Amino acid sequence: MKIYRITPKKYATDLSGMGAKLYGGRWNRVGVSLLYTSENLSLAVLENIVHISNPTILPTFKSLTVEIPESFKEYSISDFPDDWTNQESFEELRKLTDNFIKSGQYLAMKVPSAIIEMEYNFLINPQHALFKDVTVTNQQDFSFDQRLFSR
């Protein structure tokens, strides 16, 4: 199954989930490795844009096409608290991820995007036994269209 990731060029070969482990995120607490990816490239663009605070000093990016085994658990919004997109709910989402990782049943979590709830992100557990089968099948330079930031 193909999924996508956009990342600064200097991290393009790092699929360890170290950035998430160091800084945490909506789905993982600091200390928990998780590789954030999206079901399509356009969603990966949006997922990056919401985190860019100064578009005038962007690093060089790469887009990655990643092939993963079909080993994922799909979640729906009904699995989350009503206010799951608010930062106050992140701890509950992180507990869900902790339990997912602890179970070791699947390689990835398929979760609705907080930006477009009808589209999905894939959160990959780099410690899972199937992670050895995760491969980058395409990598190319990526630039954000500056019109995305001009309004």
- pLDDT values of the chain reduced to their tens digit, one per residue, 151 residues: 999 999 999 999 999 999 999 999 999 999 999 999 999 999 999 999 998 888 877 889 999 999 999 999 999 999 999 999 999 999 999 999 999 999 999 999 999 999 999 999 999 999 999 999 999 999 999 998 888 887 6
Round to whole Å and give the CA distance between 83 and 32.
23
Round to whole Å and give the CA distance between 119 and 127.
25
SS3 140: strand
Residues with Cβ within 8 Å of residue 100, at least 6 apart in sequence: 73, 106, 109, 125
Report domain extents, the chain.
2-149
Structure confidence at residue 126 (pLDDT): 98
DSSP 106: -
DSSP 83: T
Q: Which two tokens mark 64? A: 């990655």
- Which stretches within the chain are classed as H helix? 18-23, 41-49, 90-103
Structure confidence at residue 135 (pLDDT): 97
Structure confidence at residue 151 (pLDDT): 65
34 with 125: CB under 8 angstroms? yes
